[in-house]
Chains A and B, each alone.
Chain A
Amino acid sequence: MNIINNSRRSFIKSAGALALGATLPISLVELAFAGSRENFSFAYISDSHIQHIKDNRFVRNWDRGLIRAVAETNLLVPKPDFVMYGGDLAQLGSKPELDHGAEILSALKGDVRYVMGEHDYYLDLGEYWEKLFGPQYYSFDHKGVHFVVLNSIKTYDDWTFNRWPTAEQRMREMAGLDNPNSSPFMVGDEQRLWLKKDLDKVKKDTPVVVFSHSPLQKIYKGWNFWTEDAEQVQALLKPFNKVSVIYGHVHQIQYNQIGNISFNSVMATAWPWPYPQSYAQAEQYLPKLTVPMNRADPFFERDATGWQFINLADGNADLNFTLYNNSNRIVRYNKTLKHPEDTVYQDEKARIIPQTHY
């Protein structure tokens, strides 16, 4: 049984030069449980879209989002065990963008691990990114949990290798979210084979956490809120008791439960995206479970962007969303109902007007 341990809910009050500590909009609740497995937490920053203008100029707005997330993550107490970066560090995959993003991220204290996004990939197919951040897919174990990182934003070879006259055009075509010339994301045969072998070594009662950039579920194909071989990846994860998939790309709060697999999305630091239902011409399948985040107010530059702190409590992922101009949200796994739920707004009667997207 879990015991809520409020004594660990604290932040540095004297944040020194940053002066952010006193206003940090986080209330962290660490869940402790009796048993052999340790609780721990990690921070998750994603989708910064660092965008090069020319020479030494970058889009200020997106820079500020990442700089703020890094500064705030460094103030977390208790210190997270590690930091995940969820992909789309760059906007058009160029060296200046990846270098500039890497330099901002270099201020993070502790271990950082990286997920590949399509905006990082389609210029040189991840070559420069690998030099900076390591392999495109891998796994690791931490305190009794098996973590898997996938490059889920690959696509059909014909599109990648034969369709475009230049690498720059290929990158631009994939970078447009609503571009009809882009192509559906997929994990692909090679990685699924690797994933099967990797998971064969893991006991079925070990909690498994998968990090991908795209949702490993099908929500809306028009904007690539989609992974073409999602069902095949889900099938590989089915034998395990507890599986969490954590993904970026969508720039909004989403969560879902499919069988044994909990799905959670993370926020972008750059800008928010509309929910697919607000595109009047779209057929889409936003999970019914998801209570949307509030509609973004464009007059607040950082509204509807942010980062998150994730507790792995008894092997389930609880997401603490740090939202800059809004009340923070916590999406926690409900052990009775066996799915993630919003701790405040899940009940239809508890929802507020800005959560209605149209």
Chain B
Amino acid sequence: MTTYQQTTIALCLALAATGSALADEFTDADVQRWQQQFMDVASEGRKLWTSPKLGTNGVACAQCHPNAANTHPETYPKFQKQLGKVIPLWQMINWCLKNPLEGQPLAADDPKMTALQAYVTYERRGVKLEPGKH
């Protein structure tokens, strides 16, 4: 038996003994920790949103969208008539990165794109979902 297998067995026994391996139970501490993980990413998004370095010309997202207002994350995916198709929010963010910010688009799973979307949706918290709305 390898060291790895021994460790795995030991870990399983330990978890079974404490009961914390149950999938459907978590504590207040867990919730707080997860919430903090989200807020850290949203804060990173706020930094990017106000950064003159996200694009190439010094223009920041917040210059036109203070507090991410007028971004309407609750309406995406939606049809953008100028692009002729339904797009998710991150594609519209990339449109802004390329045009007013004269910068490079980000990959959909780029941590920066995740952070930007976390910030935008956090500022819009409490607003009901209305996908497709204009």
- Point out residues on A near B: beta carbons under 8 Å: 49, 51-53, 57, 59-61, 176-179, 222-223, 271-274, 276, 278-282, 295-299, 353, 357-358
Assembled-state Cα–Cα distance A60/B134 (Å): 29
Assembled-state Cα–Cα distance A281/B121 (Å): 12
Distance (whole angstroms) from the CB of A224 to the closest CB of chain B: 10
Assembled-state Cα–Cα distance A338/B134 (Å): 35
Q: Which residues of B contact A298 (CB under 8 A)?
A: 95-96, 99-100
Assembled-state Cα–Cα distance A252/B96 (Å): 21
- Across the interface, do B59 and A272 meet the contact criterion of CB distance under 8 Å? no
How many residues on the B side are at the interface (Cβ–Cβ under 8 A)?
A: 24
What number of residue pairs across chains A and B have CB atoms under 8 A from each other? Answer: 63
Q: Which residues of B contact A353 (CB under 8 A)?
A: 134
Q: Which residues of A contact B124 (CB under 8 A)?
A: 280
Top 6 A-B residue pairs of the complex, sorted by shortest distance between their CB atoms:
A178-B66, A274-B70, A274-B69, A299-B82, A279-B69, A177-B66
- Across the interface, do A280 and B127 meet the contact criterion of CB distance under 8 Å? yes
SS of B interface (majority)? loop
Assembled-state Cα–Cα distance A223/B63 (Å): 12
Interface residues in B82-111 by Cβ distance below 8 A to A read 82, 95-96, 99-100
One of A52, A179, A271 near B64 (C-beta < 8 A): A271
- A59-B59, A358-B72 known; A272 and B64 CB under 8 Å? yes
Distance (whole angstroms) from the CB of B77 to the closest CB of chain A: 17
Q: Which residues of B contact A53 (CB under 8 A)?
A: 57-58
Assembled-state Cα–Cα distance A272/B124 (Å): 20
- Across the interface, do B96 and A280 meet the contact criterion of CB distance under 8 Å? no
Distance (whole angstroms) from the CB of A47 to the closest CB of chain B: 12
Assembled-state Cα–Cα distance A209/B9 (Å): 83
- Across the interface, do A281 and B66 meet the contact criterion of CB distance under 8 Å? no
- Across the interface, do A281 and B50 meet the contact criterion of CB distance under 8 Å? no
- Across the interface, do A178 and B62 meet the contact criterion of CB distance under 8 Å? yes
Distance (whole angstroms) from the CB of B128 to the closest CB of chain A: 11
